[in-house]
Amino acid sequence: MKVAVAAMVIGGTVAGVCALAGPAAAAPSYGSNGVFGVTTQPRGGWSTTFIPPGRYRVDQSPSMQPYQSPPGYWFRCRDYPCVGGNIIATGDALRDTPTFVDVLPSDVAVSLHNVTLTPA
């Protein structure tokens, strides 16, 4: 009797744990507008959202027909503010072709304008 009760308790615990396991998480995306601090170079007070270094696919932010969002672009920045001489590189999003950006550990921030970045 004690063995049967123990087996039911263990079986119920395993079933409960399996029921709590959720679906696999989708890859994070970043965008479509704003300045994202790079996690390896935190600077207090400038960013509230961060992006880890890595290779990212750049996609034009979606818009509803018949409207189209303005052409998207991104900046990689060496320091704040993310303008002028602090811009290391820039690139455009193409509506029909994926483009890519490499966010380096030495970058301080990435500024996104009508684009979405997803890990490549």
What number of CA atoms fall less than 13 Å from residue 26's CA on the CB side? 4
Token pair for residue 74? 């991104």
Is 34 inside a domain boundary? yes
CA–CA distance, 118 with 55 (Å, rounded to integer): 9
Residue 62, number of CB atoms within 10 A of its CB:
10
Is 41 inside a domain boundary? yes
Is 18 inside a domain boundary? no
Is 19 inside a domain boundary? no
Is 10 inside a domain boundary? no
Sequential pLDDT tens for the chain (120 residues): 455 444 444 444 444 444 455 566 677 899 889 999 998 888 777 887 899 999 999 998 877 777 777 889 999 999 999 999 999 999 999 888 889 999 999 999 999 999 999 999
Identify the domain containing residue 49 by its residue range.
26-119
Is 11 inside a domain boundary? no
Number of domains in the chain: 1
Q: Does pTM top 0.85 for this prediction?
A: no
CA dihedral 102, 119, 98, 101 (to 10 degrees): -10
Is 16 inside a domain boundary? no
Bridge partners, residue 117, by sequence = 30, 58
